Amino acid sequence: MSANHDSTTLLEVRGLTKIFGTLTACDHVDLNIAKGEIHALLGENGAGKSTLVKMLFGSLEPNSGEIFWNGQPVRIASPGAAKKLGIGMVFQHFSLFEALTAAENIALSLDDGSPISSIAAKARALSYSYGLPLDPESLVGDLSVGERQRIEIIRCLLQTPQLIILDEPTSVLTPQEADKLFETLERLRSEGKSILYISHRLEEVKRICDRATVLRHGKVVGHCNPRQETASSLARMMVGNEVKAVVRAPAEGIETAPALLDIRALTRKPATPFSIPLKNINLRVRAGEVIGIAGVAGNGQGEFFESVSGEVLQQDAGSVRIRGKDAGGLTITGRRLMGAAFVPEERLGHGAAPRMKLSENLLLSRHATDGKAFVGSGGMVKSGAVYSASQRIIEAMDVRKSAPDPEAAALSGGNLQKFIVGRELDRRPSVMVVNQPTWGVDAGAAAHIRQALIELARSGSAVLVISQDLDELFEISDAIAVMHNGELSKPLPIAEATFEKIGLLMGGAEPGHAEHTLETA
Amino acid sequence: MDITVNILLTIATAATPLLIAAIGELVVERSGVLNLGVEGMMIMGAVGGFGAGYLTGSPWIGLLAAVAMGAVFSLLFAVMTLSLATNQVATGLSLTLLGLGLSGMMGTGFVGQPGERLPNLDIPGLTSIPVVGRLLFGQDPIFYISIALTAAVMWFLFKTRTGLTLRSIGDSHTSAHALGIKVIRYRYLSVIFGGACAGLAGGHLSLVYTPQWVENMTAGRGWIALALVVFASWRPWRVLAGAYIFGAVWIGQLHAQAFGIPVPSQLLSSLPYLATVVVLVLISRNKRLTMMNTPASLGQPFVPDR
């Protein structure tokens, strides 16, 4: 079969299939990308976007199917082969080396053997010409996520590719940094380069992409022009049915409600050279409200969560108060016994033990708080009670699974997250702290989790949500505070908050000093 | 004066095998592989070197055999951990146990036999210069190899592109793979280099230090080399410093024991370990520098998804 080639097509993919065991991650995928276009690849988590892209970049080998480059059939056996063809990639989870400098990182992906100093000079020149200033001597471990992405982009551009693949590039950027990125992409398009843009953010796809290919469960379900679609029609193509909108009933009487979680002058020294110190954080979460914490990844959110949950103890017991009592010196179990519940960022290995069953995972986190229900006399586990409690959670949260009580690792990310959140909600905690509640969770499950968090708050609990997803925070929060470089801004009531205001705070501008825009934006 | 020179020479002889084995292991660990089998590869090098020297009558052939023995033995580790992705700690420990046992079996015929010793360097006119002559121009050939090796590894790791690639693999093998770097190939070559070095270190013991075969003659030096790499925070010149501090205190306490200083001999014997740890901990106080030099993917098996 030969391609009926027309000269405007750069890359054509026909019937590309990749099978992992029993899962068909990509099922006869067709895709074509024209010269000088920004082509969106849309799909939910697990729809097969990353698998498809890895096959195009040569890090995975397809089971069947054909790839045509400029009309010629090609086999892309390795990332090196992809680079030779002219395919460059900006990775979602950055493929950078933290212990090396920016210039060394760039040198590693160029095969020309020129000395580091000349590569550094070229990278600096190119970065300024695209308005993405970069210091080649800086150590990657010291850089912000946005700056790291710049290195990836510059590294990719130095290879003068014809096709640039960007995998979820804006998920780690402030809105202002994302705008800057879009300018760069539009400039690249005007230079005749093609861009394959992978995202699940519909608004930005509508804004910059010329065409879109939508994947669902490994299959192409449609091609469209995103500018002629609405966000909800695109979402319907991606998800396959309507996603229930999250409803946030107005919060009433919050001003007079007691603060169930009270953080006063929380300060923490950096634990490692690359971690962020917390500086004098003050925050009150009252009964009945949801407070969101926004911020670019790596600005101290992880450290903050550890301090609030009790994974790390504070020296000043009064710096974290739960239901009016000092909790700073208590461990995570101590804080749970006071009525608090915590959901950490990583599901596997932190939120749940991967090789243990769901019921066992339930017991692990609740054996102390629900000792009477789950543990009998002489320390024997009442497995019947634990099992029925885990089934109750599975039902309440609509967790989809293949066995009655499967291992945690056997669940998809979204379903495991529903279980972990449900496990804490099931206790009706009066304080709930969640870090990245819906990271990597599909839209349906995410809506379910968000709705559950709002309902918990409205029933009289205090809910604190740390998230990188601004859309999510705007959907569920009554007020949003922003964490930047270990400092927390004052919470902005949702009625006053805008993407722009929050974005400036994420970039480090002081509230009320918006003209102080930072140089990193 | 002569005594001082002699003491300095014995210090160099004690430090050389530690330095060579540790430099080899440093390269292995910089590539992200933790090979705890240094002791086993070293003793295999010792028995192979002694055996080949004894049977052929040439210590030089013994030297080559020691290097080859260590390299071949490390290949076993490489196949297990890199191709079959076994646990590196467990595999390394079994490599040590296997080496100690196997060398004992291979060496049964060599016990008590006089071995061949590598001759010291002797440059007419230079070696006979008082004091510095013997220190600079009169030592065994492996001493010079060890110094050259340290300099070469420093240059390779920090000045060449291939060295940069090797360090990047140690920092993150997934990122390196994503860039198209051949992670497994680099690691194979690193492990074999480490094995060859450990073999050479073993050869130094049975061809220079005490030219004879005694079972378990490495006496834990492989473990000391491993510890040196960590305490030196994976930096070659610190490994050199550590090896010589250890050698110096080792020789010093032997002399102290001979003089009959009224300190328990057990305490004196533990001094080299204590002194080395204290000094190296002091010079690696800079946490940031240590983090930068620690291979972040050390000991993690790498299985590319295909």
Asked if A59 lies within 8 A of B177 by C-beta distance, the reply is yes
Q: Region A483-502: what's the mean pLDDT? A: 91
CA–CA distance, A105 with A142 (Å, rounded to integer)? 14
Q: Which two tokens stand for residue A509?
A: 């501008």
Q: Does the global pTM surpass 0.90?
A: no
Torsion angle, CA of B270/B273/B279/B282, rounded to 10 degrees?
-100
Place of tokens 């780690």: A172
Of A59, A96, A274, which is closest to B291 when you measure between CB atoms? A274
Q: Which two tokens stand for residue B64?
A: 């080559």
Q: Which two tokens stand for residue A166?
A: 């960007």
pLDDT at B82: 95
pLDDT > 70: what percent of chain A? 95
| Measured CA angle at A195 (ends A193, A198), to 5 deg | 175
CA–CA distance, A217 with A238 (Å, rounded to integer)? 9
Smallest CA-to-CA distance from A206 within A234, A180, A169, A167 is with A234
Of B180, B292, B304, which is closest to A99 when you measure between CB atoms? B292
Asked if B291 lies within 8 A of A96 by C-beta distance, the reply is no
From A442's Cα to the closest Cα of chain B, the distance in A is 24
From B210's Cα to the closest Cα of chain A, the distance in A is 42
- Annotated domain spans of chain B: 2-293
pLDDT of B225 over the 60 cut: yes
Measured in residues, chain B has a length of 306
Torsion angle, CA of A70/A72/A78/A81, rounded to 10 degrees?
-60
**Residues on chain B touching A80 (C-beta within 8 angstroms):** 180
pLDDT of A214 over the 70 cut: yes
Find all residues with CB under 8 Å of A62, minimum gap 6, and list them: A16, A17, A18, A26, A55
pLDDT in tens, A334-372: 999 999 999 998 888 888 998 899 999 999 988 888 888
What pLDDT band is residue A93 in, cutting at 50, 70 and 90? low
**From A105, which residue of chain B is nearest by alpha-carbon distance?**
B168
Beta bridge partners of A407: A357
Of A60, A82, A107, which is closest to B161 when you measure between CB atoms? A107
pLDDT of B262 over the 60 cut: yes
What is the interface pTM, i.e. ipTM, of the complex?
Answer: 0.81
Which own/partner pairs from A276-279 qualify as long-range (CB within 8 Å, at least 24 positions apart)? A276/A300, A276/A303, A276/A485, A276/A486, A277/A303, A277/A486, A278/A303, A278/A304, A278/A307, A278/A486, A279/A486, A279/A487
Query: Per the CATH hierarchy, to which homologous superfamily does domain A9-239 belong?
Result: P-loop containing nucleotide triphosphate hydrolases (3.40.50.300)
pLDDT > 70: what percent of chain B? 99
**From A141, which residue of chain B is nearest by alpha-carbon distance?**
B292
CA–CA distance, B14 with B205 (Å, rounded to integer)? 9
Of A79, A98, A108, which is closest to B164 when you measure between CB atoms? A108
**From B172, which residue of chain A is nearest by alpha-carbon distance?**
A97
DSSP A454: H
Neighbours of B236 (CB within 10 A): 25
pLDDT at B289: 77
Asked if A104 lies within 8 A of B291 by C-beta distance, the reply is no
pLDDT at A275: 76
Q: In what helix (H) or strand (E) does residue A82 lie, and over which residues does it extend?
A: helix A79-85
Q: Cβ distance A411 to A379 under 8 Å? A: no
Place of tokens 């391609």: A3
Q: Region B215-232: what's the mean pLDDT? A: 92
Q: Cβ distance A452 to A424 under 8 Å? A: no
From B282's Cα to the closest Cα of chain A, the distance in A is 18
pLDDT in tens, B14-48: 999 999 999 999 999 999 999 999 999 999 999 99
Q: Region A75-94: what's the mean pLDDT? A: 85
pLDDT of A314 over the 50 cut: yes
pLDDT at A2: 44
CA–CA distance, A494 with A351 (Å, rounded to integer)? 29
User: Where does chain A hold its CATH 3.40.50.300 domain(s)?
Assistant: 9-239, 245-339+429-521
Q: Cβ distance A291 to A481 under 8 Å? A: yes
Three-state DSSP class for residue A13? strand
CA–CA distance, B294 with B34 (Å, rounded to integer)? 12
CA distances (Å), origin A83, targets A10, A39, A72, A209: 15, 19, 16, 24
pLDDT at A196: 95
CA–CA distance, A30 with B251 (Å, rounded to integer)? 73
Architecture of the domain defined by A245-339+429-521: 3-Layer(aba) Sandwich (3.40)
**Residues on chain B touching A97 (C-beta within 8 angstroms):** 167-168, 171-172, 175-176
pLDDT in tens, A35-70: 999 999 988 777 888 889 989 998 888 999 999 999
**Residues on chain B touching A79 (C-beta within 8 angstroms):** 178-180
Of A82, A99, A113, which is closest to B161 when you measure between CB atoms? A113
In A226-289, DSSP assigns E strands to 259-268, 278-286
Chain A contact for B171 (CB, 8 A cutoff): yes
Q: Cβ distance B192 to B75 under 8 Å? A: yes
**Residues on chain B touching A94 (C-beta within 8 angstroms):** 175
pLDDT in tens, A114-141: 888 888 999 999 888 887 788 898 888 8
CATH: 1.10.3470, 2.60.40, 1.20.120, 3.40.50. Which one for B2-293? Answer: 1.10.3470
CA–CA distance, A301 with A190 (Å, rounded to integer)? 38
Task: Give chain A's contact residues with B (Cβ, < 8 Å).
Answer: 58-61, 78-80, 82-83, 89, 91, 94-100, 104-105, 107-109, 113, 116, 139, 141, 272-274
pLDDT at B86: 93
Mean of the per-residue pLDDT values for chain A?
A: 87
pLDDT in tens, A129-174: 887 788 898 888 878 777 888 888 888 888 889 999 998 887 777 7
Q: Which two tokens stand for residue A213?
A: 């290919």
**Greater confidence, B52 or A519?**
B52
CA–CA distance, A493 with A500 (Å, rounded to integer)? 14
Of B171, B178, B180, which is closest to A98 when you measure between CB atoms? B171
pLDDT at A451: 93
Dihedral sign for Cα B44, B50, B54, B56, please. Answer: positive
* CB–CB contacts below 8 A, A to B: 69
pLDDT at A510: 61
Of B165, B179, B292, which is closest to A79 when you measure between CB atoms? B179
Residue B268: phi and psi, rounded to 5, are -60, -40
What pLDDT band is residue B305 in, cutting at 50, 70 and 90? low
CA–CA distance, A412 with A347 (Å, rounded to integer)? 11
Q: At what angle do helices A383-397 and A413-425 cross, to 10 degrees?
A: 110
pLDDT in tens, A369-415: 888 889 888 888 898 999 999 999 999 888 887 788 888 888 877 78
CA–CA distance, A90 with A198 (Å, rounded to integer)? 10
Antiparallel, parallel or unpaired: β A290-294 and A492-493? unpaired
Asked if B293 lies within 8 A of A141 by C-beta distance, the reply is no
**From A61, which residue of chain B is nearest by alpha-carbon distance?**
B306
pLDDT in tens, A252-305: 778 888 999 999 999 998 877 667 899 999 999 999 999 999 988 778 898 999
Which amino acid is it at A160?
T
Which amino acid is it at A251?
A
